[in-house]
Amino acid sequence: MKALTKFCVLLVASFVLASCASVSKQPVFEEEGLANRGYDVVSYFTDNEAQLGSEQFSTRYNGVEWRFASAEHLEMFNNAPQQYAPQYGGYCAYAMSKGFVVSTDPQAFAIENGKLYLNYSLGVRETWLKDKPGYIEKANANWLEKTAEQ
């Protein structure tokens, strides 16, 4: 059963990856004009959890709206947005390691060396966690290549 579950996760990930072609001209993954689907990126660092942000605590950065769970998180982001913004424009870190651009689930995150990485799903995140350094190295190279194409 465990092998079947792993196969299904890899099959779904392969299908999603194969359906994606290029980096959006927008540098931060957005849905409905919101970075990270409205989730507070600072909360990943301070609380180690995904928290939905509030319209009351929002700002614009890189052309999109970012929302936060508190005024304190908003201030922290405004003081150092590059520190909190997710890697690879907010796209899936695992997919980027394979050269593809895929959206993310705000619940599927990891902090590595002070940087935020998002993944397509919790299942894909589990795969990514098995070789973070290797996937990050590949994703960094692919991200540089893809952003240079724009």
Q: Is 47 domain-assigned?
A: yes
Task: Report how many domains make up the chain.
Answer: 2
Closest CA to 127 of 10, 36, 4: 10
97 with 79, same domain? no
Give a yes or no: residue 40 inside a domain.
yes
Q: If we measure between CA atoms, which residue out of 56, 87, 90 comes closest to residue 72?
A: 56
**Residues 130, 90 share a domain:** yes
In this structure, which amino acid lies at residue 143? W
Q: Which long-range contacts (CB under 8 A, 24 or more apart) does 57-64 make?
A: 61/28, 61/35, 61/85, 62/26, 62/27, 62/28, 62/35, 63/26, 63/27, 63/28, 64/26, 64/28, 64/30, 64/33, 64/34, 64/35
Shared domain check, 94 and 40: no
| Residue 8, in any domain of the structure | no
Domain boundary (39, 54, 83) is at 83
Among residues 38, 65, 83, the one where a domain terminates is: 83
In this structure, are 94 and 148 located in the same domain?
yes
Out of 42, 63, 83, a domain closes at 83
Do residue 112 and residue 146 come from a single domain? yes
On whether residue 114 sits in a domain, the answer given is: yes
Q: Which domain holds residue 116?
A: 86-150
Does residue 66 lie within any of the structural domains? Answer: yes
pTM here is 0.81
pLDDT at 119: 97
User: Per the domain annotation, does 14 fall within a domain?
Assistant: no
Distances (CA, A) of 54 to 15, 44, 59, 69, 70: 34, 15, 11, 6, 8
pLDDT band (50, 70, 90) for residue 16: very low
pLDDT tens track for 32-74: 789 999 999 999 999 999 999 999 999 999 889 999 999 999 9
Does residue 6 form part of some domain? Answer: no
118, 146: one domain: yes
Asked whether residue 94 falls in the same domain as residue 150, the answer is: yes
pLDDT (tens digit, 9 = 90+) per residue, 101-147? 999 999 999 999 999 999 999 999 999 999 999 999 999 999 998 88
In this structure, the answer to whether residues 101 and 149 fall within a common structural domain is: yes
Phi/psi-derived region of residue 6, left when phi > 0, alpha when psi is between -120 and 50, beta in every other case: alpha
